[in-house]
Structure 1
């Protein structure tokens, strides 16, 4: 993916483009040879991509001819995925169509519009001839493809200017923008040429908005933000980008935790919670192997060389990486299925028309402070129940429930930071400490299980297993130390907790 940093401007057809030689930071402005670009845009028949600010096109002409998928990133910045031109002009390459599956959900991608652009480019350069910024002056003919919408052919013509950084800094972009505005340009009224052409054909979601300041408004706003995060990470997971699986899994967990904690505010979500648990678990297999692989690599790096026997680095590195890749393949396959699409449909419906309870109309601060307090008291209750269990194995299982309750309390408190401020921050920190301290023990148990599996494979292959035993001992010692230290950590945490509300 490439990042574009650009500003767009609307100009009249007779606009006189200013000279840029006098712009500070620019030594010369070089006119490029004009070029003609023809782009066909693809979307579902109901314009699901356009509704999310996403463009998918096949462009002929210019230096970047090919397929382009632009995904919203932030204000003025977009993620762009490119693919070489294919022989077919009507079939979207599988690599790109897969990246928008979370939005298309299996609906076919068809041509919906065509843009013919005559582009004149001015290249701004420094004293060494290095390209800093390009000003593209576009005369555009846009055609809405009638077959996509069952209407008569529609054609529009207009002119616009785009300033895009190619090596300079954002200060230069601002100075160029100022020069364009002084000459009569205005900030573009639409995000893209396609948005301008399609206009009100693009569907606008009808949302049920709870009254501002109510518990319902706070909860729904948070749920929408986490659904947005989930959808943003979906193409990154499919692209196997760094930390994407982790971030998408966290979004799923935060959504599920919110639905659990705020069940008195938003109801009828049990089925959605179960499906979020499913997809988080599917993602978790790959994520857990990634964490364990990194964990073993660090431990082996810290050992003296004479304590590392046999091909253990390869087995705990390459073998686990292969297993991680297989788990990721299973996750992405699940993300192409009807079960995943059905979950996304249900999430869309839930945030558009949330099934709110009468409590949702109550004042946010008072109502949700009680929820935060309840989430922490749930952790305390789980801990007390666990400590009352005499059987060690059963008590260990119960302590896993304490950790899960702490994670839920943490997510709940973090979601309420904008509302409750320091109270929520304090609770979130304490819940996180409980979660992470208990997590050290759980991570050690998981690591021991994988080490035993790999030890068996190494023994069958006739390899030296000395280092495996050493690692098992280290993991067991660290896990036990964490478990033994937890009661003291707990007493300190509980002694400092101030309930959010009573």
Structure 2
């Protein structure tokens, strides 16, 4: 469904209804103004029964009147005073009671399977004055609003008020104009707004935001450390979810990492939480990471395949066989991931994580010091890597079993990295050093794994060409042989890098 998005930068003021707006044509960069226009705006605001959107400073509405009738979703940005506004017109979304998916998908991770219901109706008599800059370009507008609101929540009330909204148009970074307008509107009678939005004023207090990171404090316990880490990675998961839904660059990777980091915290600090009550979360997070992994692996392989043939003179048939098939697989894996992310099972997982952080089932080591818990977790992880390395040393180098064991060592190194990152707020240098070594091991053995996969795919293509299943030109086979040689050399370099840091672990 077609949607348009823009960054909205505005100032908001409470004002007495009888106060006239000042003449803003004296503001810097303003050369004129259009005649004021008056509109009647009628909006219905939607949220869950728990006000999951409002508690995250997000509003969703269906509004008639004015130049932008339609469905609107407003979300915070990192810029002070700015919000992202996503709009869908009535021609695309005529239903009066069902918000369009173009607006619900970006916040699905917050509303989950809970239905959206009307929570307020707001009528606004708006008088808009558009300010013009050079060339008669609109650069800002002042909206003088008389507002009547009715909360539809249980025990809700009606209210009336007046306010001014000054919004930048075009150049949303015009801070000079914004500051001058703020001073002028304040002198004219504008006051600090009592609420951040019309909806917030209409419905009153909202539940506390559930995604607050608790923080460690001065003398943190093991439980403090675990809850801080869980909240941090939960928030990252929530932030990347909407990006995965639109296949944004690197989003699948980052969401997968977030799910793995959550698992690492749950499994890496034994005894801090009640293990029996968190086991199911570990399993669900493992499944989520696996589903995302299919899409991530194909995404990575596409980039690798493109780089393998970069600068090479090959036929379209070879490019299609190497890259095209992987792209088809990536699209299929994304569809599977999106389906999983719209399932009740996924939403139940998110609810369970929230509940765990809000009301953690503690284990016998919850009150241990965070430093002691960190040392124990890092020490145990380093020991397991050494054990896997010893198993590797007992296998014939280059054998299938040896290559499989390299992958096991890599996974253990990745787990150590995650645990080092989890205890990073404690600032211990010996943990940091262990993490650096783990990163070298993980990266080097990842390169080995990539080269191994590439060589296997090259061998499959050559076999298909020899059997007649795949029609390649002679130059293609020559290129494949050259690429295979480069990959073999890359494997040896990566194994050398890995071997060079073993003594430092």
TM range (shorter): 0.7 to 0.9
Aligned to 1:157: 160
Alignment partner, residue 126 of structure 2: 119
SS at match of 2:135: coil
Q: Could you tell me how far apart the structure 1 residues matched to 2:264 and 2:198 are? A: 40
Distance 1:56 1:466, change over 3 A: farther
Determine helix, strand or coil for the equivalent of 2:366.
helix
Which SS does the other structure have where 1:2 is aligned?
strand
- Judging changes above 3 Å, is the alpha-carbon distance between structure 1 residues 96 and 209 closer, same or farther for their aligned structure 2 residues? closer
Separation in structure 1 between the aligned mates of residue 389 and residue 33 of structure 2, nearest angstrom: 69
Q: Cα deviations across residues 278-327 of structure 1 (Å, max 9, x unaligned)? A: 11111121221122112222222221x2xx13422234344332221111
Aligned partner of 1:195 among 196, 200, 215? 200
1:243 is displaced (CA, Å) by 2.4
Task: Verify the 8 A CA contact 2:212 2:231 in the aligned structure 1.
Answer: no
TM-score, normalised to structure 2, is: 0.85
Where do 1:24-423 residues align within 5 Å? 24-30=28-34, 32-76=36-80, 77-85=82-90, 86-145=93-152, 149-151=153-155, 154-168=157-171, 169-172=173-176, 173-200=178-205, 202=207, 212=217, 213-214=219-220, 215-268=222-275, 269-303=278-312, 305=313, 308-390=314-396, 392-420=399-427, 423=430
Which residue does 2:15 correspond to in 1?
A: 12
Question: Is the CA contact 2:8–2:84 (under 8 Å) kept in the aligned structure 1?
Answer: no
**CA separation in 2, counterparts of 1:133 and 1:73?**
20
Shift of 1:364: 2.8
Which runs of no fewer than 5 residues in structure 2 stay unpaired? none
Which residue number in structure 2 is paired with residue 464 of structure 1? 472
CA-CA distance at 1:421 after TM superposition: 6.1
Tell me the C-alpha RMSD between the 2 structures: 3.2
Normalising by structure 1, we get a TM-score of 0.86
The question of whether the paired residues in 2 share the 8 Å contact of 1:4 and 1:164 is answered with no
CA separation of 1:258 and 1:170: change in aligned 2, threshold 3 A: farther
Q: Equivalents in 2 of 1:100, 1:144: separation in Å?
A: 22
Shift of 1:224: 1.0
SS of 1:56's partner is: strand
Range 85-94 or range 260-269, more displaced: 260-269
How far apart in 2 are the matches of 1:259 and 1:474?
Answer: 45
Structure 2 equivalent of residue 435 of structure 1:
442
Q: Distance in 2 between matches of 1:80 and 1:454?
A: 49
The match for 2:497 is 489
Which of 428, 451, 458 is the aligned partner of 1:444?
Answer: 451
Secondary structure, in 3 states, of the residue corresponding to 1:108? coil
In 1, are the aligned partners of 2:308 and 2:483 still within 8 Å (CA)?
Answer: no
> SS where residue 135 of structure 1 aligns?
strand
Call closer, same or farther: CA 1:209–1:285 in 2, change over 3 Å. Answer: closer
Matches within 5 A, 1:467-478: 469=477, 473=481, 476-478=484-486
Q: Which residue in 1 is equivalent to 2:5?
A: 2
Cα 1:437–1:208, aligned 2, differ >3 Å: closer, same or farther? closer
